């Protein structure tokens, strides 16, 4: 039997206890700072920036009590999972590129 409490929000059904915890400890300003580190680009960058801004607006509403400024096409947790999946895929690609570049960095002669 599931004993977890849920609450209906403008952004879907969410875990009530987790919401209460995040309302005490989550700094939505850090999410906005993360958005601002992503340059407006094309493709993946544009998608990521746009969706992080949507997630920030949803989070600000739920956690900080800010006015609702976006309509949730999906539950907040689903958007967060989609963003996390995209970041994981990007991280794996960057890790591979880093390994390739690091190998070429080993070309440095020992006397440098």
Residue 1 confidence (pLDDT): 57
Is 51 inside any structural domain?
Answer: yes
Report if residue 30 sits inside a domain: yes
Is 92 domain-assigned?
yes
Q: Which two tokens stand for residue 54?
A: 């949507």
Q: Which domain holds residue 91?
A: 6-105
Write phi, then psi, for 34 (nearest 5 degrees): -60, -40
User: What's the structural domain count of the chain?
Assistant: 1
Residue 110 lies in a domain: no
60-75 pLDDT per residue, tens: 999 999 999 998 789 9
Q: How many residues does the chain have?
A: 112
Residue 65 belongs to some domain of the structure: yes
Query: Which of residues 103 and 64 earns the better pLDDT score?
Result: 64
pLDDT tens profile 20-37 = 999 999 998 898 888 887
111 is a domain residue: no
> With bands split at pLDDT 50, 70 and 90, how would you rate the model's confidence at 108?
confident
Q: Is residue 101 part of a domain?
A: yes
């Amino acid at each position: 039997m599931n004993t977890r409490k849920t609450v209906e929000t403008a952004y879907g059904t969410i875990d009530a206890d987790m919401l209460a915890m995040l309302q005490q400890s989550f700094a939505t300003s850090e999410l906005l700072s993360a958005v601002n580190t992503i340059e407006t680009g094309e493709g993946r960058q544009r998608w990521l920036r746009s969706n992080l801004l949507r997630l920030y607006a949803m989070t600000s509403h739920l956690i900080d009590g800010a006015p609702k400024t976006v309509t949730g096409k999906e539950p907040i947790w689903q958007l967060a999972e989609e963003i996390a999946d995209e970041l994981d895929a990007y991280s794996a690609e960057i890790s591979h590129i880093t390994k390739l570049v690091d190998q070429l960095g080993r070309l440095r002669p020992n006397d440098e």
